[in-house]
Chain A
Amino acid sequence: MDAANLDRLVDTDRVHRSVYTDPAIFELEMERIWGRAWIFVGHESQVAEAGQYFATTIGRQPVMMTRDEAGGLHVLFNRCAHKGARLVGEGAGRADKAIRCCYHGWRFGLDGRLLSIPMADGYDGTRFGKGCPEADVQPLSRAESYRGFVFASLAAEGPGLVAWLGGAASSIDNMVDRAPGGDLEVTGGVLRFEHDSNWKFFVENLNDLMHPMVVHQSSSLTARDVAKAELGPEATMPPALQIIAPFTESYRFFDEMGLHAFEWGHGYSGGKTSIHAKYSDVPEYNAAMEAAYGPERVAEIFAVNRHNTVFYPSATIKGPIQTMRIVKPLAVDRTVIESWTFRLKGAPDELLRRSILYCNLINSSANLVGPDDQEAYRRQQQGLRAEGAEWVAMHRDLGREEDLGEGHLYAKGSSDLAFRNQFRAWKRYMAGVA
């Protein structure tokens, strides 16, 4: 696929269906988007202590985040320097002083440095062996942490993490600032929901504010009905129903939430309010926040209430409910979405309990809300096989976004701005421009 052909697949207001269906384009995305962008790896709390590692994937490549003896943080390829065996299994683990390869017993420090080879003198006089940089576990080209969120890039060149996050970094700030202790901790396990659809449907949908009131009727309206019938119309809903009910807020509510877009495809919906704004207060939490920051600063922190923030293409967070969904593309029509929860350090357990409840109800493969989104993507994946119509629309409110300066665009919630902005970045990455 040459550059000119790729260029023709994305207009400012529409995209060609093949970007979702063509395996060759998916392969190019792996190389040019997932191989270039900053991809979320993990959170520093997962490797808080020396010897800990967390193994995951970037695109389809095995990588691991590690903490060495001196406290240094590394993102390395999870691949033995000898004959390539994957070194550790996916997920979190601890290796104490060394990672030992299962195959020929080479040992590596958590900084990736080769420590020992059985019968090492066999390499004497060859161009491999101890002291040779290729005999270490190889680091990724770049790795950086922003307030505990670790991203890495397979590309040597490109903007630094902070510049790349741009205005969207403020969503990470707000999530961290919600911790009275000023820090987050990943906890509570992971949900791994497999989607039989292209990864882009998911990242688009998170800021598609014209879908919730349609897709989520069967769960959200039902939750409202059950609450009314069982508890009475005036009763305060229990936390579970408070979480589900707002998905069928009105078009007007979602429109007023608004959309914010930034360079590199990032963006968020909501800002002053979102579907997370009306959860019952937890008084001990508010007290802990006030003690930590003072009432004025707390008011500022709580005045920011965002729905989904997308760090295109791999990471999405919900600050007000302290959850994260991570995008892992496997094939043109297969994607895994992982859901993680965070503890706000210094906050009462009630907050973590609510984050867990949220994930169960919305993000689990077996639950009430997410499966209907997944079904919509599945039907898109099927529908777009049709050759009679070649284009996918994103015209709504074209040209009516406001430029707030420094690459920050704003539009009302019903706008297709988020999609246009993601495909602007898509086009830029795919053209090979760093």
Chain B
Amino acid sequence: MSTADLARHHQVSQFLFHEARLLDERRWDEWADLFTEDGVYWAPAAHDQPDADFHVSLIHDDALLRKVRIARFADPNAFALQPFPRTAHLITNVMIDEDDATMGRLLTTSRFAMFEFRADAQRIYGGAYRHELVVDGEDFRIVRKTATLVDCEGLQETVGVYF
């Protein structure tokens, strides 16, 4: 790997770690700002799920639904979120699958684990992230984040937050 490749890998990893940190530190508005205006957050309900239009999903949020969800996070009447879940998102196996300099677009895959403490119990979620990013000055923005749980087809208890 060239020095430039290493630097790029570091830059991308730092972006993903930063995103995870914003989720763990409940800095929702800053997190939402990482997305482009038409950016999509998607947690499919099946591994071979081709789209989110004609197959159910665990979460499929556009900008407006992210706004509703984030506003709900702060709502004292969001009973399922009392006390608010604590999370630790861990990201590893970061790979840059595509890096198109002319288009300013990147595709990365990584693996994640999310520890969530909610309703008196700790739960562990794990799976794959796929980030479609656009270059935005020195930084990136998210066009599409897909979080596919290894057990997305299995039984799911209430999930309070974003993976």
A374 with B80: CB separation less than 8 A: yes
- Other-chain contact of A188, B55, B59, B79 (Cβ < 8 Å): B55
- Other-chain contact of B155, A194, A240, A371 (Cβ < 8 Å): A194
A375 with B59: CB separation less than 8 A: no
Mark out the residues of chain A between 369 and 425 whose CB falls within 8 Å of any chain B CB in the assembled complex. Answer: 371-372, 374-376, 378-379
- Other-chain contact of A378, B43, B77, B119 (Cβ < 8 Å): B119
Q: A189-B56, A356-B56, A360-B57 are in contact. Are A365 and B159 (CB under 8 A)?
A: yes
Q: A218-B72, A353-B54, A359-B56 are in contact. Are A192 and B155 (CB under 8 A)?
A: yes
A371 with B156: CB separation less than 8 A: no
| Residue from B68, B76, B78, B156 having most chain A Cβ neighbours under 10 A | B68
A244, B61: Cα distance in complex, Å: 14
Which A residues touch B67, using CB under 8 A?
226, 230
A366 with B72: CB separation less than 8 A: no
- Other-chain contact of A368, B49, B72, B77 (Cβ < 8 Å): B72
CB distance from B74 to the nearest CB of A (A): 9
A194 with B157: CB separation less than 8 A: yes
Which B residues touch A222, using CB under 8 A?
68, 71-72, 75
A365 with B64: CB separation less than 8 A: no
The residue in chain B whose Cβ has the minimal distance to the Cβ of A341 is B56
Mark out the residues of chain B between 42 and 83 whose CB falls within 8 Å of any chain A CB in the assembled complex. Answer: 43, 45-46, 49, 52-60, 62, 64-65, 67-69, 71-72, 75-82
A352, B53: Cα distance in complex, Å: 8
A219 with B155: CB separation less than 8 A: no
A374 with B158: CB separation less than 8 A: yes
A376, B67: Cα distance in complex, Å: 24
B78 with A218: CB separation less than 8 A: yes
Q: Does A339 contact B (CB under 8 A)?
A: yes
A379, B158: Cα distance in complex, Å: 14
CB distance from B28 to the nearest CB of A (A): 13
A196 with B79: CB separation less than 8 A: no
A349 with B68: CB separation less than 8 A: no
A217, B78: Cα distance in complex, Å: 8
Which A residues touch B54, using CB under 8 A?
187-188, 349, 352-353, 356
Which A residues touch B137, using CB under 8 A?
none
The residue in chain A whose Cβ has the minimal distance to the Cβ of B163 is A366
Q: A192-B155, A194-B157, A375-B158 are in contact. Are A219 and B55 (CB under 8 A)?
A: no
A189, B46: Cα distance in complex, Å: 8
Which B residues touch A352, using CB under 8 A?
54
Q: Does A282 contact B (CB under 8 A)?
A: no
Which B residues touch A187, using CB under 8 A?
54
Q: Does A253 contact B (CB under 8 A)?
A: no
Which A residues touch B75, using CB under 8 A?
217-218, 222
A365 with B156: CB separation less than 8 A: yes
Q: Does A191 contact B (CB under 8 A)?
A: yes
Which A residues touch B55, using CB under 8 A?
188-189, 356
A360, B57: Cα distance in complex, Å: 6
A223 with B158: CB separation less than 8 A: no
Q: Does A336 contact B (CB under 8 A)?
A: yes
CB distance from B51 to the nearest CB of A (A): 10
What does the 1/0 interface line of A70-91 toward B look like (CB < 8 Å)? 0000000000000000000000
Q: Does A241 contact B (CB under 8 A)?
A: yes
A378, B58: Cα distance in complex, Å: 21
Mark out the residues of chain A between 174 and 193 whose CB falls within 8 Å of any chain B CB in the assembled complex. Answer: 187-193
Q: Does A314 contact B (CB under 8 A)?
A: no
A364 with B78: CB separation less than 8 A: no
B56 with A360: CB separation less than 8 A: yes
Q: A218-B77, A371-B158 are in contact. Are A240 and B65 (CB under 8 A)?
A: yes
CB distance from A250 to the nearest CB of B (A): 17
Which A residues touch B65, using CB under 8 A?
240, 361, 368
The residue in chain B whose Cβ has the minimal distance to the Cβ of A214 is B77
Q: Does A367 contact B (CB under 8 A)?
A: yes
Q: A215-B79, A366-B156 are in contact. Are A353 and B71 (CB under 8 A)?
A: no
Which A residues touch B127, using CB under 8 A?
none
The residue in chain A whose Cβ has the minimal distance to the Cβ of B75 is A218
Mark out the residues of chain B between 143 and 163 whose CB falls within 8 Å of any chain A CB in the assembled complex. Answer: 153-160
Q: Does A233 contact B (CB under 8 A)?
A: no
A217, B56: Cα distance in complex, Å: 24
Which A residues touch B64, using CB under 8 A?
226, 230, 238, 240-241
CB distance from A237 to the nearest CB of B (A): 10
- Other-chain contact of A196, B78, B157, B159 (Cβ < 8 Å): B157
Which A residues touch B71, using CB under 8 A?
222, 225-226
Which B residues touch A190, using CB under 8 A?
45, 56
Q: A189-B49, A218-B72, A222-B75 are in contact. Are A372 and B80 (CB under 8 A)?
A: yes
Which B residues touch A238, using CB under 8 A?
64
Which B residues touch A244, using CB under 8 A?
68
A218 with B79: CB separation less than 8 A: yes
A371, B159: Cα distance in complex, Å: 8
A-B contacts, 14 of them at CB < 8 A, read A191-B58, A192-B153, A193-B155, A215-B79, A218-B72, A218-B75, A222-B72, A356-B56, A364-B59, A365-B157, A366-B156, A366-B158, A375-B80, A376-B79
Task: Please give 10 more A-B residue pairs, beta carbons under 8 A apart, in addition to A244-B68, A367-B58, A371-B159.
Answer: A189-B49, A225-B71, A226-B64, A349-B53, A353-B54, A364-B57, A366-B59, A372-B78, A375-B119, A379-B79
6 A-B pairs closest in CB distance: A365-B156, A366-B159, A218-B78, A371-B80, A218-B75, A375-B80
